């Protein structure tokens, strides 16, 4: 038998199935090696390209964020939403940089501060027996803290 590629004496009989078509080929050592190499080369999947996402507000790249775990601005949350969802369990344990949560805490604190101040004013108004003023403050407190 001769090699189907180069006509040299064939040493290998190869059965290949591509898309359901089976072909039988006689190959010499050299062509067989070459075919194996080509097969390996072509069967390697090209690396899927990851689309780079960039925060439109602060230009932080998603790849940068994935590396560092830090967000450039609160808008990054929206921009990298998909990636963050996947990363969240990892990030929660390693960093405290969570602006959304942080902002909520700040809001909560300022409300508490305001309530403290109003309660003090209410106390003072009552001490001064200024019931009209006390009533006003009381309403403000109820607005902030409707329990
Ligand atoms: Zn050959
Ligand atoms: Zn950003």
**CA distance between the termini of the chain:** 95
More confident residue, 138 or 103: 138
State how far the alpha carbon of 131 is from the alpha carbons of 118, 121, 123, 146, in Å: 14, 12, 11, 21
pLDDT of residue 88: 57
pLDDT of residue 136: 94
**Quick one: pLDDT band at residue 73, thresholds 50, 70, 90?**
confident
Cα of 146 from ligand 2 centre, angstroms: 36
DSSP state for residue 2 in the 8-state scheme: B
Cα of 47 from ligand 2 centre, angstroms: 28
Find the helix packing angle between 99-127 and 131-144, rounded to 10°: 160
Is residue 24 within 8 Å of residue 14, measured between CB atoms? yes
**Average pLDDT of 50-78?**
83
Residues with CB under 5 A from ligand 1 (ion): 3, 5-6, 8, 28, 31
Cα of 111 from ligand 2 centre, angstroms: 27
More confident residue, 93 or 128: 128
Cα of 110 from ligand 2 centre, angstroms: 25
Domain boundaries along the sequence of the chain: 12-43, 62-97, 101-144
Is residue 47's pLDDT more than 90?
A: no
Is residue 53 within 8 Å of residue 73, measured between CB atoms? no
Closest ligand (CA of 60): 2
Alpha carbons within 13 A on the beta-carbon side of 80: 27
pTM of model > 0.75: no
pLDDT of residue 70: 76
């Amino acid at each position: 038998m001769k090699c189907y590629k180069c006509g040299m004496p064939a040493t290998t009989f190869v059965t290949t199935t591509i898309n359901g078509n089976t072909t039988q080929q006689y190959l010499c050592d050299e062509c067989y090696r070459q075919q194996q190499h080509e097969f390996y080369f072509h069967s390697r999947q090209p690396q899927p390209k990851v689309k780079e996402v960039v925060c439109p507000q602060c230009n932080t790249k998603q790849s940068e964020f994935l590396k560092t775990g830090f967000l450039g601005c609160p808008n990054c949350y929206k921009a990298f939403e998909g990636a963050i969802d996947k990363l969240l369990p990892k990030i929660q344990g390693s960093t405290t940089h969570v602006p959304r949560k942080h902002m909520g805490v700040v809001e909560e604190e300022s409300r508490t501060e305001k309530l403290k101040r109003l309660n003090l004013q209410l106390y003072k108004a009552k001490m001064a027996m200024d019931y009209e003023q006390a009533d006003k403050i009381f309403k403000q407190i109820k607005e902030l803290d409707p329990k």
